[in-house]
Amino acid sequence: MTASPASSASSARECSIANALAVVGERWSLLVLREVLLGNVRFESIAANTGGSRDILSARLRTLVEAGVLERRLYDEHPRRYEYLPTEAGWALQPILLALMDWGDRYVTQGPPPTVWEHSCGAELHLEAVCAACGEPASSGQSRLLRLGGVDQVPAG
């Protein structure tokens, strides 16, 4: 937790990708999020389904709560037991996880996709990233950098 990618050396870009990774970029963070978003909100099931060591999971859960991505809620008074619920920021990570899954299905996983979602329209869910304004796909070549690290970019050409 000392030097995050975002806050390291001299002239690294100020960048929300790095800032996001400083919060959810550590090992196991996104796997913990996966479980929590699937509804496995208790320590035991998170440990079982991710396969991570209990100590680092404990640490990750703590940092994710501190970062406001999860909320730790007491669900049983007497043997004090807690569960970890996604906050709004936590739910907002779902598209990232689905996009990672899609990419993994396509370029890493051998054989058929191990996990399949059905969209409310009835089809198997595959993500597409579109421009929120016009709805057109935001694929490569369809976008241009306007400003980077607070510095406006000059159009090439």
Nearer residue to DNA within complex by CB, 12 or 138: 12
CA triple 111-114-115, angle to 5 deg: 140
109 binds DNA (CB under 7 A): no
Told to check if 135 binds a second copy by CB under 8 A, we report yes
Nearest to 83, CA basis, from 92, 93, 94, 70: 70
Stretch near a second copy under the rule CB under 8 A, chosen from 48-56, 57-65, 72-80: 48-56
Q: Which stretch binds DNA (CB under 7 A): 39-47, 108-116, 125-133, 143-151?
A: 39-47
The single residue among 31, 42, 87, 102 that binds DNA, judged by CB under 7 A, is 42
Kindly state whether residue 22 participates in binding DNA, applying the rule CB under 7 A: no
Say if residues 70 and 35 touch (Cβ distance below 8 Å).
no
* Total site size for DNA, rule CB under 7 A: 27
Positions in 94-133 near a second copy (CB under 8 A)? 94-109, 113-121, 123-133
Our CB check for a second copy shows the closer of 146 and 154 to be 146
Contacting DNA (CB under 7 A), which of 32, 34, 35, 52?
52
Classify the C-alpha dihedral 12-17-23-28 as positive or negative: negative
Q: How far is the CB of 2 from a second copy (least distance, A)?
A: 13
Q: Which helix (H) or strand (E) holds 99?
A: helix 94-107
Amino acid at the residue 40? N
**Alpha helices of 4-83 — where are they, by DSSP H?**
16-24, 29-37, 43-50, 54-66
Question: Dihedral sign, CA of 147, 150, 156, 157?
Answer: positive
